[in-house]
Structure 1
Amino acid sequence: MRRFGRTLATAALAVAVVAGTAGWAAGDSVQAAVTGPPPGASAWRADSASGRPLPEPATASAYEVARFLAGLDEAGRREPVRRDPLVVGNLDGAPVALRYEANRLAVAASGRARFASLAAPGRQVLAFDPRGRGQVAEVFGDLERAAHVAVVVPGSDDDAASYGAGRAPHTGPAGMARSLHAAAGGETAVVAWTGCTTPVGVGLDAATGRLAEAGAVRLARFTAGLDAVRIADVPNVAFAGRGHGADPTSRAFGARSVPPSDVQGHTGYFVLGTRSLAAFAAIAKGEAQ
């Protein structure tokens, strides 16, 4: 029952974040969804560790990855980081510290100035993919020791280069995650997840669920990876269907509404002192009633 309750709470949080991050610039461009393992997967498949084939990055479950890496010694786990940092940095089920290290190397190796800030000291990048507009997942807090984990999911106009740049402190996935972490306290870790291709502006992509459906597969795999390395209760999250799915404010949906009375605009849900931020913090800590 606790797991079911947390699943609903996280889904409600994701819906609110989708509404709050949408960029309302008119457009009709159709984005190509980035799917599958990152560049370097072919070399990874031809490689081995301690004489054993490495887990298939596209199909191995997060739990299979975790078991495989747990069976290697320290040298065996670190060698793939040096050879294939992009794959290890996105390998759901790999130890958190290993992914942080791999993604620092992957960001540096990308050679793209627009991603350079992700390699700054102290940043905890749990996933990085330079393809397309770029994808990233960043952790705020101590993910390995946190009693609670929340995942902030973006709406439109977010990618690895823009998700935390040039915005008010409480907006964008990074700003929202940072604000939520501050409000929820040290026992909660918050992940800013921009791990899928998002719509640009209000156009064909924003009017359908095509990109959300592709992103749902990546998000479900990502959260399974958190579960595998924490052996803890990380909620399941899924998006499906056409359009924007069921109306989360309807009685039939069954969710509790976040209080919006003191929210100013679509990007105000995570402003310090608002009732909405307090509600999200309660959700993240498992205290929502």
Structure 2
Amino acid sequence: MKVLITGCNGQVGSLLVKQLTGKAELMAVDRDQIDITDEQAVLDAVTAFKPDAIINAAAHTAVDRAEEEVELSYQINRDGPLYLARAAEQVGAAILHISTDYVFSGDKDGVYSETDLTAPQGVYGESKLAGEQAVVATCPRHIILRTAWVFGETGNNFVKTMIRLGRDRNQLGIVGDQFGGPTYAGDIAATLIAIAERYKAGTDVAWGIYHYAGLPSVSWFEFASYIFDAAKAQGVLEHIPALNSITTADYPTPAKRPANSRLSMDKIGAEFGIDACDWQKALTDIRPYGI
């Protein structure tokens, strides 16, 4: 299998490379190698390499900065996926594209399914939804994988932030009225690889939009509590700061966060036999996050 990975230095991209090394012929690139907002550069690379699958792990994920960097957000989150999908269609490849819970308003009671109406509340979610729509309209062999609360050993994420703050602070206020499923980047990578391998093997693939996230669903406050308990038990932290549950209103940000980011895993389980991410298991060794 020949796979082109974009965003190869990011949280998911780096683990895609790690898991596929030795198992597939890889072309792993980040913005320094291929600017996905440059349509000709994308087309030249894809037509030269002729991948079986393109996995797009590149994105502008700075949610608050996106409110100011509107044009850049759309270039990376909409135009880049569009150019990759066009190139995939030209060479007969599949495109697997990572999206986000931010395409929803976050106001629903219960879990979000793939058929629920989208209603992004900020530039990040709007640009990611535009990217989804571009991929769907351009290449019929597509998988859109919406995920949430991603953490991994590479890059910045909530787990690393909590451990860093835990070393410096005696007390922390953590938002307790936003809920979602923490999702390990390595499990996202494994899910994408499993679908790509199924396509390469000639097995029928039900193309479309899927949700993939972690269980159990928790609040940020509950997630932080688990992180600190694990870090203390594993010797990463000497002490646990006192945690206070605060409201979203207590912690204003430029971009609105979804109050409910819980995603249904029913469809991906039925179509591919893929279970929800066990994020607690993923933190069995929390030491890499404290380096």
Output the TM-score relative to the length of structure 2: 0.27
Output the TM-score relative to the length of structure 1: 0.27
